[in-house]
Structure 1
């Protein structure tokens, strides 16, 4: 048996959709941001690499070259100072080249021989190429009042020219720190003053992580250093209004689309067609019983089993509406079987099986194919067949001979067969004669028009006349007033059914039912 899907209210499904949207939205946003930040990261790395290459080139063509030309321990002379000026002129990233003797700068390219040698501060770090870097070295040109960054190879030292200004990122939310490597170990670092990512960390290019408000990228493509580029996330959103507007718009559109998708999905999941397809079971299909009154004895002669369909959200819909959907889904025999099983179960559990005649509606094709008879044989003992009436709904007959044979088989086994809602479908004398049924049920639409002289009265009289000619039992459906009851009684109608006597009731109420209106 197909199981009906768990019902989610509209707002519950929307919450599920919004949660799903969140799981998709935020990774998508991150991918977009990460891609944009990655582009800025590459630009900054290229800038830093360009500066690093420039410094290394200047060190190679100036300090290293001078170091190979002049040994340690020399006194400053005009020739040495002239050579330092010459190399200073050609250097792009270095300036103020000096000579170091006994730990003191004794002369420079721009000040010549110093009257008072200036002490060289302790090295901040030593690179893999044995170049000594000092971050806070007093500048001789300003008598030591200003400090700068120096690099030293052998006895020659030089200040970095505008290093701080040129390496500072132009974007305020983008920071960097460079870690120098010697034998694969971090020995020094420099970069944006306020940006200090924790280390040690795994030196793997492409590593990314979040730390202290920064989204960090690690680049170790060069063997002598690793760069960590950090994006200050909060600063990014504060200084990039275009990004905030874009993401806000994207958020609204994205969640609006998922809301619309959720509404359409809810409509599709719980459409009547889908509910009927999955829901022909005891939970959604409910059976109620409407008493049929013998007008001679004024006692209950039996009852008609009527279906009520309760949608998955607890709302009842009309029988006509869901029966039409059953036919569209080609589930007529499933519906009939569900009703038969429910009726037999109700009657058995309440001790009513065999006490009253119960009428059950059936589709013509299910009678013609013999499927309804198979269902009864599977679920009911043969001795109780005679206590059931099969009501043939007046619909299009695809195969009248086959239907006639199906009716004959049912009657042979003891079932009574009636035409339900007579007057609204295949109401013709030849059809009645061919089917050889037991009873006619006059459609309620004719009964409702019969309280006063009208065409409706004439039609009811005509139907009763036909039934009597064919010696059929007659049931008037939809009797709601005493006037209607008196009219059908005067015509010799055998049975009455309708709200005047009782609304459809559950099986327990049927077991206790007794006529209260006379």
Structure 2
């Protein structure tokens, strides 16, 4: 039972390990998912900010395009005739600081100063010569040094006549480019090679700081771009993980608990025993029983072995106690009966050959063992005699006396296994009326080494012989032990000295080899005897 408890503890540790691994994976996956989601949200927020800024700039510039198109007809008209209409347009647009009329490469009229006579090519070569339509520069006339945005709307294909609108871009950019912390720390308007940053009245180039990344978006309608600088999205996403940790821990604990509960059956040894029966994972072995008088094979004891594909070979000392505790011993016994019935044709067809089967005392309740024998054993019309061995790990008094009587009536013999090691009581011999007592291997091993246990062995032998009960000695491993037991007229010997447990399918081959060896030994003995007599 101690080994069974150790095995149960091992399975529980495996369940715990699996639950912890799943919980850790859920924690990691949840935090990873939240990290990726946060990073994506931050990137999306930056893009939304840039799109929104571009949309607002475009909407601000669109009326200026319309106004310029409506004003192109004034180009070429004397300045004194168009100055007041230009002032009215400026008042209506609000964002425009001044309007310049250009004719034949000459700025000849200003809405602020009236008549002018300046070379357009010399004043604004980017617009006149380079074909640009927008120019970010500084005001040279009204508010000197302040940033302005020039919008050029040409009237002629030669780019020598048209309208220049001077937009007060500093106020507009400070309104439209307000950064959204923490994902946008700096917002910049770029026109050509010039840049205007929010909060900075100077037009100058910009570069990201050491810990900033750059995001840029271009307008599809006008020749400008919006550049954003801010922390790397992964850094901001990483900073949000502590906020996600409680939820991630809760989910990981929940999934770990679900896995712990879900594996309560599948990871339990009792569930795997039940599964193993249906999956044919168990193997029926047998160990020969040797007649102590003539040395012939008098029968076999059926043993059950379990090869679990998930855990390898599982010792009987582990799964048998657990099967008894979880009421699975009866299904295992039925499995053994059905398998040995399949092998009956290969076994000796002699009535003095007996087949010993271990049966738990709990299997005797409600005549369950009798019903199983009637269903599985007797229909096969077996010739060998059946012996049911009751192990003393069960409380033997629970065995139904009526069932014992029924078994004796149909010729089934009853044996008490491991006699003297468990709940032994001399009253059992009276109540159960066993046909066979099996001397436990601990007493056999004491022969020649342990005087006290050897004395107990002698007492058990004497008691059985006085009560006319047959004896089977288990665990015979040496010739000395075998000879000791033979001299005391022990009926049947069993142990590694004669044969190790083997698959029941191999028994017929072993028996042929065993009988051939005995015949050879007998022939040699007979020859030696004749030689001595001669």
Question: TM-score interval w.r.t. the shorter chain?
Answer: 0.5 to 0.7
Q: Distance between the aligned counterparts of 1:398 and 1:418, measured in 2?
A: 12
C-alpha displacement at 1:108, in angstroms? 3.4
C-alpha displacement at 1:441, in angstroms? 0.6
Q: Is the 8 A contact 1:134 1:150 kept in 2?
A: no
Q: Distance between the aligned counterparts of 1:269 and 1:190, measured in 2?
A: 67
The partner residue of 1:115 within 104, 108, 117 is 117
Q: Is 2:165 aligned against 1:158?
A: yes
Q: Distance between the aligned counterparts of 1:410 and 1:385, measured in 2?
A: 16
Q: 1:82-121 maps to which residues of 2 (within 5 A)?
A: 84=86, 94-99=96-101, 106-109=108-111, 112-115=114-117, 118=120
C-alpha displacement at 1:289, in angstroms? 1.0
Q: Structure 1 pair 134/148, CA: closer, same or farther in 2 (3 Å)?
A: farther
C-alpha displacement at 1:409, in angstroms? 1.9
Q: Is the 8 A contact 1:111 1:140 kept in 2?
A: no
Q: Distance between the aligned counterparts of 2:452 and 2:509, measured in 1?
A: 39
Report the TM-score when normalising by structure 2.
0.65
Q: Deviations over 1:471-509 (max 9, x none)?
A: 211101111122222222232211110111111112343
Q: Is 2:296 aligned against 1:299?
A: yes
Q: Is 2:216 aligned against 1:175?
A: yes
Q: Is the 8 A contact 1:347 1:507 kept in 2?
A: no
Match of 2:529 in 1: none
Q: Deviations over 1:323-343 (max 9, x none)?
A: 122123321111111111122
Q: Is the 8 A contact 2:417 2:437 kept in 1?
A: yes
Match of 1:288 in 2: 285
Size of the aligned set, in residue pairs, is: 439
Q: Is the 8 A contact 1:289 1:505 kept in 2?
A: yes
Q: Distance between the aligned counterparts of 2:113 and 2:137, measured in 1?
A: 11
Match of 2:43 in 1: 37
C-alpha displacement at 1:172, in angstroms? 3.8
* Gapped regions of structure 2 (runs ≥ 5): 1-17, 141-147, 156-161, 171-188, 191-195, 199-205, 522-534
Moved more, 494-503 or 263-272: 263-272
Q: Deviations over 1:105-143 (max 9, x none)?
A: 64334675443674999x9xxxxxxxxx9735799989x
Q: Is 2:77 aligned against 1:75?
A: yes
Q: Is the 8 A contact 1:110 1:141 kept in 2?
A: no
Q: 1:177-196 maps to which residues of 2 (within 5 A)?
A: 177-179=218-220, 188=221, 192=225
* Gapped regions of structure 1 (runs ≥ 5): 1-11, 124-132, 180-187, 195-230
Q: Distance between the aligned counterparts of 1:341 and 1:166, measured in 2?
A: 89
Instruction: Please state which structure has a larger fraction of its residues in helix.
Output: 2
Q: Distance between the aligned counterparts of 1:510 and 1:66, measured in 2?
A: 109
C-alpha displacement at 1:375, in angstroms? 2.5
Q: Distance between the aligned counterparts of 1:319 and 1:112, measured in 2?
A: 112
Q: Distance between the aligned counterparts of 1:325 and 1:64, measured in 2?
A: 93
Report the RMSD for the aligned CA atoms in angstroms: 5.2
C-alpha displacement at 1:422, in angstroms? 0.9
C-alpha displacement at 1:365, in angstroms? 1.1
Match of 1:409 in 2: 406
C-alpha displacement at 1:39, in angstroms? 2.8
Q: Is the 8 A contact 1:111 1:141 kept in 2?
A: no
Q: Structure 1 pair 351/420, CA: closer, same or farther in 2 (3 Å)?
A: closer
C-alpha displacement at 1:296, in angstroms? 0.7
1:480 partner SS: coil
Q: Distance between the aligned counterparts of 1:429 and 1:149, measured in 2?
A: 118
Q: Is the 8 A contact 1:293 1:300 kept in 2?
A: yes
Q: Is the 8 A contact 1:368 1:399 kept in 2?
A: no
